[in-house]
Amino acid sequence: GPMSPPIIELPPGVQRVPRRVQECESVGHGEGVMHVLTLARRDPKDPGYSRAGRWADERLIRVWTPPGWTLEGAPPGGWPVLYLNDGQNKFEDWLAHQGVSWRAGYTASDLIARGELPPFLVVGIDSAGPLRSFNYLPFAPGAGAGGFRRDAERWPGGGLPAYMARVTQEIMPLVSERFGGSRDPARLAFGGGSFGGVAALYAALHYPHVFGSVLAESPSLWVAEARFLADLAAHSGALPERLFMGVGTREYSGTRDHERADVDGLLLHYAREAARILDEKGMRPGQGRLVCQVEEGAGHHEGAWAYRLTGALRYLCAPWWQEVAAAQQH
């Protein structure tokens, strides 16, 4: 069974240390270059140190740089950056767990080549094997309402606050220093799918001052019997400028059990409920702050998320051109 989750909460106010790179391997990808970084092992005295650090995946980051990228050539204020969870599933099909990836660098290459988006970086943060649910969920998933996910019943959760601290305090400074990534929220997007989509929605609530745009694909809102929806409803703070949520009408039957259309209905209901709550809190679809795309017949897998990525980025990152152009005029 899954290992017991490590305790990696830091005392409030403890700043983590930006990570160092042990090795970097660069290969062509799309029209740009993929840099696979292996982070140096942590010092046990590092405030972010934990047993989780023993997982090799915790130490892999993939940074895609666009054609013509140089560190010195960054626009004033830095290159825009899209940060994605489950980095190993984001770029190449042969690397991805199910043999299908988001093809993120290819999609980015196309959008940049057509002039729809300015050159930007894509950073994939690999997920850590058996600790994936722990890192991406604010609480243990449980089996879902009515027990349709008995397989997840004993999976750990609760490590998401520590994971987000790692992303914002350890990984983002590294990307800024080594690749010229911006720290301006108007040029930053954060996203993921499934459990990684829950992490993205959590970032929308807790890090809107860091990420101006959030991409949540098929977020697993069933976890802890939809407790996240209650957290969302209770949220009274700021929200990001733009949020894209994608969901299919066959999230369950298209992927797990084709007899269970009732679960499809439940998962769709959760997504629509999240959109309704966000709308009530001022993220109005009519004003361009929220897009909830319901895709007919789509299941719960990387292929569906890859298919929706072009439209999602076109919407989420549209303000980037203005940002970059404005900075260059000053």
CB within 8 Å of 54: residues ≥ 6 apart: none
CB within 8 Å of 198: residues ≥ 6 apart: 136, 137, 138, 160, 216, 219, 220, 221, 223, 228
Residue 254 maps to a domain: yes
Residue 284 maps to a domain: yes
Range of the domain at 78: 25-37+54-329
d(CA 156, CA 154): 6
Residue 94 maps to a domain: yes
Q: To which residue do tokens 């299908």 refer?
A: 100
Residue 202 maps to a domain: yes
pLDDT of residue 8: 46
Q: What is the mean pLDDT of the chain?
A: 87
pLDDT of residue 50: 59
Q: What is the CATH number of the domain that holds 125?
A: 3.40.50.1820
pLDDT of residue 299: 82
| 290: β partners | 243
Tens digit of pLDDT for each residue in 17-58? 788 888 899 999 999 999 999 888 777 776 666 555 454 446
> Is residue 295 within 8 Å of 247, Cβ to Cβ?
yes
Find the mean pLDDT for residues 118-123: 97
Instruction: Read off the pLDDT band of 10 (50, 70, 90).
Output: low
Predicted confidence (pLDDT) at residue 87 exceeds the cutoff of 90: no
pLDDT of residue 3: 46
Tens digit of pLDDT for each residue in 246-274? 988 887 876 666 667 788 888 999 999 99
Tens digit of pLDDT for each residue in 228-247? 999 999 999 999 999 999 98
pLDDT of residue 7: 42
Tens digit of pLDDT for each residue in 186-210? 999 999 999 999 999 999 999 999 9
d(CA 107, CA 117): 11
Structural domain total, the chain: 1
Q: What is the pTM of this model?
A: 0.91
Find the mean pLDDT for residues 110-127: 95
Closest CA to 315 of 241, 247, 248, 219: 241
Residue 48 maps to a domain: no
Tens digit of pLDDT for each residue in 306-329? 889 999 999 999 999 888 888 877
Tens digit of pLDDT for each residue in 136-171? 999 998 888 888 888 888 888 999 998 999 899 999
Look at phi and psi of residue 142 and say left if phi exceeds 0, alpha if psi is from -120 to 50, else beta.
left
pLDDT of residue 13: 63
pLDDT of residue 57: 46
pLDDT of residue 131: 84
In what helix (H) or strand (E) does residue 179 lie, and over which residues does it extend? helix 172-179
CA 201 to mean position of chain CA atoms: 9
Residue 20 maps to a domain: no
Residue 239 maps to a domain: yes
Tokens for 206?
A: 């807790």
pLDDT of residue 327: 82
In angstroms, the Cα distances linking 237 to 204, 231, 233, 241, 280 are: 10, 12, 11, 13, 13
d(CA 200, CA 196): 6
In angstroms, the Cα distances linking 324 to 63, 97, 119, 329 are: 20, 35, 10, 9
Residue 122 maps to a domain: yes
- Rounded to the nearest 10 degrees, what angle do helices 261-280 and 227-234 cross at? 10
